[in-house]
Amino acid sequence: MKIGPQTHRSSSISASNEQTILVRGRDLASELIGEATFTDYFWLLLTGAMPSPAQRRLLDATLVAIAEHGLVPSVVASRVTLAAAPEALQGAVAAGILGCGSVVLGSAEAAGRFFTQIAQRAEQGMLQQDAVAAVVREYRAEKRTIPGYGHPLHKGQDPRALRLFEVAAEVGLAGQHVAIARSVERALPDLVGKALSLNVSGAIPAVLLDAGYPLLALKGVPILARAGGLVAHLLEEQQRPIGFVMSGAAAAAISYDGPAPAGFKPSDEASGGA
């Protein structure tokens, strides 16, 4: 039984034999290890070419911007999982990565698609501000959130977004997508009735698309970055464990409102065991 597409039967990323590992056509041992930074190498893996210094600095800036923000949901899931299953660090990292979803960390990709739609209209001859208004109105008509704007903590400007735009300008890569991102921010009060600042998940796709980073790999930036942050949290979890404290506090914040026999009294601390 054959399911799904069967047209492709090749890959262009890597090949090897007993002496050599080839990655994107380069000899891994002699040309890349010790020469490329990990960020260079990630760009090479994705695109087949080494980044320019400007591209590398921008990609580094976005990875640094999104790797860590304290005990956010993905970190809670990850540390709780290591506490329960310390034999598998990879499982705890995976549990954290599974929280890079459409609501919390994956909005970088959604914002990238949003900016791209606006850019396509502009390329077809529409004025940028008209393209912004048209696409924002379509999102509103479909009751979709405008991705990349607003933040529960950083209610003024998200300092990470501001800094990413500065870096893009410094390295000379700020272009159409950055301009669109700013244009949306200016237009939102009129279009949706309140001011919403660009957040880090909006700034990342704006600067990366201007730098030539591939749209379909945008979600890979928060995922890769967060993998780094999770490893640091899991090192701390091994040394100063808080996973079960967090799990217990989470349970204690929730009361039981289902049926119960007369006189049943739940424990003060709601839960934690198995």
Q: How do beta strands 26-27 and 14-16 pair?
A: unpaired
Q: How many residues sit close enough to its own copies to count as binding (CB under 8 A)?
A: 153
From residue 113, give the alpha-carbon distance in Å to each of 7, 16, 19, 65, 143.
Answer: 27, 36, 42, 20, 16
Tell which positions 6-35 bind its own copies, by CB under 8 A: 6, 8-25, 27-30, 32-34
Question: Is residue 141 a contact residue for its own copies (CB under 8 A)?
Answer: no
Tell which positions 237-266 bind its own copies, by CB under 8 A: 238-261, 264-266
| Contact residues for 103 (Cβ-Cβ < 8 A; gap 6+) | none
Question: Is residue 65 a contact residue for its own copies (CB under 8 A)?
Answer: yes
Tell which positions 82-101 bind its own copies, by CB under 8 A: 83-95, 97-101
| Contact residues for 120 (Cβ-Cβ < 8 A; gap 6+) | none
Question: Is residue 119 a contact residue for its own copies (CB under 8 A)?
Answer: no
CB of 15 or CB of 127, closer to its own copies: 15
Among the listed ranges 115-123, 176-184, 188-196, 225-233, the one in contact with its own copies (CB under 8 A) is 225-233
Residue 129 CB, nearest approach to its own copies (Å): 29
- Single out the residue of 155, 186, 189, 190 in contact with its own copies (rule: CB under 8 A): 155
Nearest CA to 178 among 113, 106, 114, 115? 115
CB of 196 or CB of 250, closer to its own copies: 250
The C-alpha atoms of residue 47 and residue 12 are separated, in whole angstroms, by 10
Which 3-state string (H, E, C) describes 161-205?
A: HHHHHHHHHHCCCCCHHHHHHHHHHHHHHHHHCCCCCECHHHHHH
Question: Is residue 142 a contact residue for its own copies (CB under 8 A)?
Answer: no
Tally Cβ neighbours within 10 Å of residue 253.
8
Residue 193 CB, nearest approach to its own copies (Å): 21
Joined together, the tokens standing for residue 167 give: 């870096």
Tell which positions 179-218 bind its own copies, by CB under 8 A: 200-201, 214, 216-217
Given a contact cutoff of 8 angstroms between Cβ atoms, the answer to whether 124 and 181 are in contact is: no
Q: How do beta strands 26-27 and 21-23 pair?
A: antiparallel
Residue 62 CB, nearest approach to its own copies (Å): 8
Residue 213 CB, nearest approach to its own copies (Å): 10
Tell which positions 41-60 bind its own copies, by CB under 8 A: 41-42, 45-46, 48, 57, 59-60
